[in-house]
Amino acid sequence: MADMTVAYSPSHGLGEEQSIWFKLTPLLNQENPMQVLAALSDKYAGVVPINLKNHRIVLLSEPAYAERVLVTNADNYTKYFDGLRPIFGKSMITIDGALWQKIRAPQQPAFHPHMFEEYFPYLMSAIDSKMARWAKFASTGETIEMVEETWTLAAEMVCKALFDREMPFNPHFVFSQVKTYTDVMNHKSIRLKNVRGELVEMTGEDTAKAMEVWHSIPDTVMGAGILEHRDKTLLKMLEAAEADPNFPEFDHRQVIDEMKQYLWAGTETTALTLAWSLYLLSQHPEAMERIRAEARAVCGDADPEWNQVQQLTYTKMVIQETMRLFPPIWALIRIAAGDDDIQGHKIKAGDKVVILAYVMHHSPKYWTDPEKFDPERFAPERAKKRVKYSYLPFAAGKRACIGGALSQIENTLALVQLLRRFTPEYAGPVPAKIHATVTLCPKGGLPFRIRELS
Ligand code: HEM
């Protein structure tokens, strides 16, 4: 097994000194961070051990290795959330074992496919608000930041569909505060390496302020006007678990933390996917036309009905291909509880294991012409031939994303509705560059101008 040693500055920065994100930053703070990781993975045949002072990080990028960690020996690998605790609290995404199972059970019904019909009108209503906003942008011709736009949309969808509330906060402000915290490049040590001429210190005070804003959001949402007093919402399920006398672990703090989890994990990822898909479509106008043609064929001039959503197959394939090229969660991190042997590669208890979804999604071993935007890869016949676990936008195994199917419906509806009325024109440099934080963001954002179709 080849050994890699990465030097890092020991200075204290945002997040925790021992944080894996902190330690990966020398790799990530590159012009093309994903290419660096892909080249390393290629050189070391899918297993890159990085030896640090007290422990080891092992980067994995073979589907069979991902299967071992996420599925067949999943109980040996616990979730890694150091540094992100202030964002997620003790929500289920961060916990393991029997408690995780117990906390997830009462929430699972909110993500059963039969609930999606219930959510459908609220998703459409959030898209309507977005269209009204875009009509204004089209008339002024101003340049907008697409991730801000799609993040607002995703947040409004979660508030309306899952919580039965209007979105009672300013998402641009709130999410920029969250980003202040989750952007690993804000680490002081990394900034010191930036040769931009100016050093802006991130103080403890800034972090505390960012987190104060974030922590106030669940109460703000709960206190907002109830939309329709629906019985079957995720928030109702969370409240019922809190009220259950046989479930003392599910206290009020748990409800608050679960809401924070949905407001971040359930919005930024969906928003990045939609924003990256609009970027890709701006570079592939023929695919944009195909989405419009599909919408016309399925819905005519009317808005989609719930029973038509499954027929918007090409649109969904565009979203799937976007998540292949730009997986919002590009790295899945676990800690080995005990020793393991992954096809001859020794993993020691305490090793931090990082599954590089991005690298697998771009590997010529598993994808023909991997850098090409080709939604047809996800046509059912071709998708069947895919190597299992080579595509992991939602992870796999029991800890897979609870909201994966919902996000694809959200984004299918958003693409169809937005593109039938508007052409979003990308106004940034091509190709757009990646900024790898906890999520896969566009470097410097994705500026767009909106044109309304006549
Ligand atoms: C394109 C959109 C999305 C992507 C790419 C995505 C991706 C992921 C991934 C990769 C994980 C597993 C992380 C890990 O194992 O370390 C995850 C977990 C999770 N996601 Fe998503 N997600 C998306 C949308 C959503 C939505 C819409 C919701 C809910 C409204 C959601 C809620 C969650 C929750 C609660 C978990 C934790 C599940 C558990 O630990 O039991 N996600 N997501």
pLDDT (tens digit per residue) in 92-130: 999 999 999 999 999 999 999 999 999 999 999 999 999
Residues in the chain: 454
Concatenated DSSP letters of 270-318: HHHHHHHHHHHHHH-HHHHHHHHHHHHHHHTTSPPPGGGGGG-HHHHHH
Question: Looking at residue 18, what is its pLDDT?
Answer: 63
Q: Does the pLDDT at position 189 exceed 50?
A: no
Q: Which residues contact 140 (CB under 8 A, 6 or more apart)?
A: none
Residue 85 pLDDT greater than 80, yes or no: no
Query: Is pLDDT at 288 greater than 70 in this prediction?
Result: yes
SS3 category, 440? strand
Give distance in angstroms: CA of 221 to centre of ligand 1: 21
In sequence order, the 6+-apart residues with CB closer than 8 A to the CB of 63 are: 360, 366, 387, 388, 389, 390
Could you tell me the pTM of the whole model? 0.93
Q: Identify the residues whose C-beta falls under 6 Å from ligand 1.
A: 92-93, 104, 158, 261-262, 265-266, 269-270, 273, 323, 328-329, 332, 393-395, 399, 401-404, 406-407
Count of CB atoms within 10 A of residue 179's CB?
18
Give the per-residue pLDDT at 176. 83
pLDDT recorded at residue 12: 31
Is residue 423 pLDDT above 50, yes or no?
Answer: yes
Query: What's the CA dihedral at 363, 364, 367, 369 to 10 degrees?
Result: 120
**pLDDT cut 90: percent of the chain above it:** 77
Tokens of 444: 């410097």
Q: What is the pLDDT of residue 388?
A: 97
- Residue 84 is predicted with a pLDDT of 77
Of the residues 401, 410, 413, which should be mutated to test ligand 1's pocket, given the most ligand atoms within 8 Å of the CB? 401
Residue 41's pLDDT is what?
95
